[in-house]
Amino acid sequence: QVNVAESGGGSVQPGGSLKLSCRASGGTLDTITMGWFRQAPGKEREVVAAYDFFDRKTIYIDSVKDRFTISRDKNALMIYLQMNSLKVEDSGVYYCAADNVFWNLWENRAPAYWGQGTQVTVSL
């Protein structure tokens, strides 16, 4: 069983910044993709960004490119999401997720492991 836990949500004004953290533990994941999803009230959950530990590649949805940066810890299955120039429409519950297969997370939107979610609120 792989456990995924995220932290770092909060409330900011538009234009502000927040940094989310996520750690995966347990299991025997030799290759892993970890990423971030978000869900706003009344909307479907959407993938935001992902990091593939095997290929060391990052990928983002267009609406967060140049504003969000995903990075990893060198010594742990841990990723971060630095969110700058936040907009009201970035608000929602942010979920960290993990899977052995990149496309399960990014393309199929169905990663095997999920965190509990952390609230991000951007408002005046």
The arithmetic mean of pLDDT across residues 97-110, rounded, is: 91
Position 19 scores a pLDDT of 98
CB count within 10 Å of CB 28 equals 6
Asked if the model's pLDDT at residue 42 lies above 80, the reply is yes
The mean per-residue pLDDT over the stretch 68-83 comes to: 91
Give the Cα-Cα-Cα angle 100, 106, 111 (nearest 5 degrees): 45
β-strand pairing of 10-12 with 118-122: parallel
